[in-house]
Structure 1
Amino acid sequence: MYQSKYRRRRGVILTSPGWNKLQEAKSEAEFNENSGYRYTLEQLSDRTGLAVDTLLRVHDGSTSVDKQTLKRYFSAFNLILEASDYYCPEPRNKELEPNDIDTEPELPGGQVPLDSAFYIERPPIESRTCEAILQPGALIRIKAPQQMGKTSLMARILERARKQGYQTVVLNLKLADEKVFTDLDRFLQWFCAYVSRNLKLPNKLADYWDEIFGSNYNTTDYFENHLLAQIDSPLVLALDDVDRIFAHPEIASDFFGLLRAWYEKAKYGERSSNIWQKVRLIVVHSTEVYIPLNMNQSPFNIGLSIELPVFTSAQVQDLAQRHGLNWSMQNVEQLINFVGGNPHLIRLALYHISTQDISLEQMWQTDVSAVRIYSDHLRHQLSNLQKYPELKTAFEKVVKVSTSVELDLVQAFKLQSMGLVHLLGNMAMPSCKLYCQYFGVCLSDSNFNTNEQIV
């Protein structure tokens, strides 16, 4: 009987939730069975029965494997592979090989430029978010520790929206003066005025602000009957660093309730729904939402939730190739163990190694040169710890022992948001060798306040 040559199905790739589920189970096993140390590829191979090359394909996040491979990987950590854990990728044209990229190394700092050859995608996050922003009334939440690429992802979503003819406004809440957060009325008036200016529309707050109705109603009225009424295309509002609002619970509860109400207005099917379907929201934050919010008012349990993962070994090897480095997987694992999978720390290391400022061996030995290239980063982290003595005390506990440490849950979340620890529940361990060795020394009582500790 004739059999179609197209009968065989294509391979599959882990979704972001599937990858996160696997990583959480793997981290738990590392805590409980491997003294908190990351499994090497060889150890994973022994545990799963999968070849190292096959593991690398799974970790790559863009290379298909057969579903049986994922089932075996999951079952090795007592997990069941579900339909939501994987997807079947669309056929795609051959991509540019890393060695085909002819560009000078790029010193990392802040958002990765849109045209950069050094931006590493984390499939399917980019495609999923860029599709989601095109949906009426969309809300996308992006969460990750500091310097994990949140703003770079947001920039690519906004670029997709602009190519569709949408208007975009980015509100980086770090730019707001502290006095803006003194009360809700002042904050929402600033919010309205900021969006008006960016849309090049007149500020008509005086015409729409009536104390009788309250701040949230006035803001909604201002958007619905002034701003949105005057634009024909969808409007993407990107709120970056909303952690700033978490420090002001009296504002946060009402403001986040307002965002939730706008999202729901687009779904009501009433006269104003068409207007609110124009609004697409992107909310970017680092810390867990530990402020008390009514479940029915919170925007943190609706929309598309994206939690950015650390770079995989395959992604780090790809990035090394883009820097002109022909690295083995052993080299890659050494770098990941030294600085973790944080994209910024990885890129900073690869930049200085590719420009021959330092060698991988020097970094692994925590040479003075290694501390020097991270001096700005370490100083920033140290400054944050100095501002919050309770976090300094908690992190000092973490770096002074060789096993995981139980912390207060809020402190654990805050240290995680700074990228300083990995968490399993409220059990914490240093996120990388650099932090463990460096802060293990400088967080002693006698040295903590001395800037000389940083080269």
Structure 2
Amino acid sequence: MTSPIGEQTARVLKRHMERGNIRQVDLAAATGVSRKAVSDWLKGMLANPLKQEHVLVLAERVFRLQGEEKREFLVDMGYPDAILESPSTSLAVRQCRVVVLYSALEVRDKQYATALANLLKTQANYQVELLHQLDKIPSLTRADWIVFCLSPYSVYSAQLLDLLDSAYQIAQKNCSLLVGVSAKKLEDVPQEVSNLLSNIQVLDIENVRKELEEAFGSLLQQLSEKYHRPYELEMVTGAIPLDSAFYVERLCDESFKSCFERGDSALLIKGARQVGKTSLLARGIDMARRMGYHVLLVDFQRFSQHDLHSLKDFFIAFAELLADQLRLDIYPREVWREGRSASVNFDLYIRDYVLQPLQQRVLLAIDEADRILAHSFSDDVFSLFRSWHNDRSLRPDSPCHRLTIALAYSTEPYLFIKDITQSPFNIGSKIPVEDFDLAQLSVLNQHYGSILYRGELEEFLEFTGGQPYLSRCILNDMVIRKLSYYDFLLYIKNHDTALSDHLKRIVYLLSQETGHELQAAIKEFIKTGKVESQRLFSRLRSAGIIAGSVEYPRFRCRLYKDYLTAHFA
């Protein structure tokens, strides 16, 4: 598919490439796209559109254009306003791209849309384009807001619905905001229309210009405040505070809430390293407290080597931690009977001294639950947890009937638990914690002041894999150092940052493992693209290094692939 714009783009690119003796591979490397995409650009095809951030990189870093020559290049490439948004000034106040879209079923539709567009063009903060059909797809893909003009007549037309549906699909894909405006009050908006529009406002075109200006300005101000809230930077490491503006809700948040409200006995929060398990658990704890639960929190990461020496040492440390939280007068050693097994002693103490005095429901939240899996006594611990689950059905009068256990972990339990029938990991409600998708990454970007351009989000997703810690770490560094995304990629090649510390830690963890089994597996994966066993794949996935399946493994993100490939080459 070609167009005059596509052909013009191709001619301009070829001219500058010939002038500078620049190859297609140079364009691909600089912009981060595939060579096929570059080939499509040079053929004038729109299957891989040339985005604004690509044009800026080509102008400044590939063709080395400046002044009027750069401005002329941007105009020829179809981005006359891009000079306002060069990567070197990406932290400046950026203009909001608004597309005013109308159906043209009535003359008044065009008049109203034109009035709105002209009004916005007088404002310094908006770049405005007026469209009456979807013949300029690139315009919509670049839009921050798509303003759809409605009228009492057009709102019932099939043509408008088709147009609106197409705009909605584009807005969803590009994380744009789609709003509707009307010159007069719409008495009855069809459900299929209102479902597609996030907001419908009535702005009377017959009012004086000042009132219209105030009304539309107020609407956009509300939207701007909603989607571009002010922020203060926070520490990236560790669990995200409950009041943080940087927490992004995912499907796992809703799953946790549903399972908890349903009264499930065991909630299994599973995810790779640094994916946000502890942050989710913290929000679950907060929800439990607000629902009247008494919360007991245990982090196995805090247990010392002495605490993990034997089953008895572990259970005593566990019980003492709960006794401290509840300020109990009787500690486990005082009622511990050597004639009983450690499991029986611990079970009786929990029932009689921890659960029985508490009349309300109890949430036992355990973080880093898989830390004990490598120890010989882990089967006894988890089989006891399972027995508490069974008691909810077998012994309704048991205090365990009021107990819910939430376990956060990374490792596949079946790799360590010998008797899987005694494991709580196959009876609880599983809540997988996944990396961010494009929409969630877009929300995080908005929390950081939309420092990434819309087109950069997809590349950023590929680079980080949507890994929450990586995503926050990079965006945080970009804001602190006042760097654009492309400048940041250049910066980290020659400077130590929190990101480089993170990568070095991955290599360190691989090298510290006994027998270097995982390090050998990574080297083999880099060489062949395969992982030889499900066990090794599960361990690498739990470590947060690879994703996919044992049949089709892949690096979790391009950053890990590039770094580990270079390190182990």
Give the alignment's TM-score, normalised by structure 2. 0.59
* In structure 1, distance between residues paired with 2:473 and 2:442: 14
2:386 matched to 1:288? Answer: no
Q: Deviations over 1:66-102 (max 9, x none)?
A: 9xxxxxxxxxxxxxxxxxxxxxxxxxxx999653522
**Matched-pair contact (CA < 8 Å) for 1:288–1:414:** yes
* In structure 2, distance between residues paired with 1:219 and 1:399: 47
Of the candidates 232, 239, 245, which is equivalent to residue 359 of structure 2? Answer: 232
Matching of residues 4-403 of structure 1 within 5 Å: 54=169, 57=172, 98-123=226-251, 125-136=252-263, 138-248=265-375, 250-272=376-398, 275-289=399-413, 290-325=415-450, 327-364=452-489, 367-368=492-493, 372-388=497-513, 389-400=516-527
**Matched-pair contact (CA < 8 Å) for 2:510–2:519:** yes
**Residues 326/292 of structure 1: CA separation in 2 closer, same or farther (3 Å cut):** closer
Which residue in 1 is equivalent to 2:58?
none
Superposed CA RMSD in Å reads 3.0
**Matched-pair contact (CA < 8 Å) for 2:264–2:429:** no
Structure 1: 5+ residue stretches without partners? 1-33, 35-41, 44-49, 67-93, 445-455
SS in 2 for 1:168: strand
Q: Deviations over 1:253-272 (max 9, x none)?
A: 11000000011111224432
Deviates more, 1:108-117 or 1:351-360: 351-360
* In structure 2, distance between residues paired with 1:425 and 1:97: 45
**Residues 163/258 of structure 1: CA separation in 2 closer, same or farther (3 Å cut):** same
**Residues 137/53 of structure 1: CA separation in 2 closer, same or farther (3 Å cut):** closer
* In structure 2, distance between residues paired with 1:352 and 1:304: 37
Structure 2: 5+ residue stretches without partners? 1-33, 35-46, 49-164, 179-191, 193-221
* In structure 2, distance between residues paired with 1:341 and 1:52: 26
Percent identity, aligned pairs only, is 26
Which residue in 1 is equivalent to 2:564?
439
Task: Give the CA deviation at 1:126.
Answer: 1.6
* In structure 2, distance between residues paired with 1:59 and 1:312: 12
The size of the alignment, in residue pairs, is 363
**Residues 411/371 of structure 1: CA separation in 2 closer, same or farther (3 Å cut):** farther
Task: Give the CA deviation at 1:112.
Answer: 0.7
SS in 1 for 2:407: strand
2:547 matched to 1:417? Answer: no
SS in 2 for 1:405: coil
**Matched-pair contact (CA < 8 Å) for 1:173–1:241:** yes
SS in 2 for 1:355: helix
Task: Give the CA deviation at 1:358.
Answer: 3.3
SS in 1 for 2:377: helix
**Matched-pair contact (CA < 8 Å) for 1:197–1:203:** no
**Residues 141/420 of structure 1: CA separation in 2 closer, same or farther (3 Å cut):** same
Task: Give the CA deviation at 1:346.
Answer: 0.6
**Residues 286/366 of structure 1: CA separation in 2 closer, same or farther (3 Å cut):** farther
Task: Give the CA deviation at 1:196.
Answer: 1.0
**Residues 406/309 of structure 1: CA separation in 2 closer, same or farther (3 Å cut):** same
**Residues 208/56 of structure 1: CA separation in 2 closer, same or farther (3 Å cut):** farther
- For 1:395, the aligned partner's letter is I
**Matched-pair contact (CA < 8 Å) for 2:273–2:410:** yes
Q: Deviations over 1:362-399 (max 9, x none)?
A: 44568415763412211221111111211111112223
- For 1:218, the aligned partner's letter is N
* In structure 1, distance between residues paired with 2:546 and 2:564: 12
- For 2:247, the aligned partner's letter is Y
Q: Deviations over 1:395-451 (max 9, x none)?
A: 1222346xx31332222111111211113225422222211221212224xxxxxxx
* In structure 2, distance between residues paired with 1:271 and 1:329: 57
**Matched-pair contact (CA < 8 Å) for 1:137–1:263:** no
| Higher fraction of helix | 2
SS in 1 for 2:422: coil
Give the alignment's TM-score, normalised by structure 1. 0.73
SS in 1 for 2:286: helix
**Residues 210/267 of structure 1: CA separation in 2 closer, same or farther (3 Å cut):** same
**Residues 96/150 of structure 1: CA separation in 2 closer, same or farther (3 Å cut):** farther
SS in 1 for 2:243: coil
Q: Deviations over 1:35-89 (max 9, x none)?
A: xxxxxxx79xxxxxx97963874898xx9xx9xxxxxxxxxxxxxxxxxxxxxxx
Task: Give the CA deviation at 1:203.
Answer: 3.6
Higher relative contact order structure (alpha carbons within 8 Å, sequence separation ≥ 6): 1
**Matched-pair contact (CA < 8 Å) for 1:136–1:277:** no
**Residues 384/426 of structure 1: CA separation in 2 closer, same or farther (3 Å cut):** farther
